[in-house]
């Protein structure tokens, strides 16, 4: 781990922001795996789990969805439910100060509000609304990662 941090420092000094980002992401992954193996739970890892759940949901952001297939409708509902469950878990594990912080509330509550529109997108088979909801959710997800991940 120490060698990776030294490499990141060198990349910073060399002005290589892409290399820095990639290296820090790798370190983030290593820390995630170490904590998970040790049974240690932190908000940053929960946010990372949320990012993975959002990645699974965003695959439905395509204009040509076949709404006639129950797999499509069930898949959207299932992935949205998983993402919502992770958000609930993150909300519950955040410390009191973070949980009450306006920025955290705006992101968590905003994402929950967006998720509440998913059943409507499925019932009406509205791909345009689904697209807008997914883009909004991705924005909340990214902001959660930048600030709390």
Q: Of 130, 140, 42, whose CA–CA distance to 83 is shortest?
A: 140
Residue 67's pLDDT is what?
95
Same domain, 47 and 28: no
Q: Is the pLDDT of residue 23 over 90?
A: no
Residue 8's pLDDT is what?
72
Q: Of 73, 71, 84, whose CA–CA distance to 120 is shortest?
A: 73
Same domain, 20 and 52: no
Of 58-67, 90-99, 133-142, minimum mean pLDDT range: 58-67
Single pTM value for the model: 0.85
Q: What is the mean pLDDT of residues 71-78?
A: 97
Distance CA 14, CA 146 (A): 24
> What is the domain extent for residue 120?
43-148
Same domain, 64 and 105: yes
Same domain, 69 and 101: yes
Residue 45's pLDDT is what?
95
22 against 69, higher pLDDT: 69
Contact 144, 50 (CB under 8 A): yes
Residue 1's pLDDT is what?
64
Q: Is the pLDDT of residue 107 over 80?
A: yes
Q: Of 79, 133, 132, 143, whose CA–CA distance to 105 is shortest?
A: 143
Same domain, 34 and 52: no
Same domain, 77 and 14: no
Same domain, 16 and 53: no
């Amino acid at each position: 781990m120490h060698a990776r941090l030294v490499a990141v420092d060198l990349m910073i000094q060399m002005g290589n922001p892409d290399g820095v980002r990639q290296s820090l992401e790798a370190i983030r992954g290593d820390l995630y795996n170490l904590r998970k193996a040790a049974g240690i739970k932190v908000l940053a890892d929960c946010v990372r789990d949320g990012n993975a759940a959002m990645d699974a949901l965003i695959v439905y952001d395509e204009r040509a969805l076949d709404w006639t297939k129950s797999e499509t409708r069930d898949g959207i509902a299932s992935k949205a439910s998983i993402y919502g469950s992770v958000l609930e878990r993150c909300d519950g594990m955040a410390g009191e100060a973070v949980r009450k912080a306006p920025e955290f509330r705006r992101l968590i509550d905003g994402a929950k509000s967006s998720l509440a529109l998913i059943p409507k997108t499925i019932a009406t088979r509205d791909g345009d609304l689904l697209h807008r909801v997914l883009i909004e959710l991705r924005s909340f997800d990214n902001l959660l990662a930048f600030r709390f991940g």
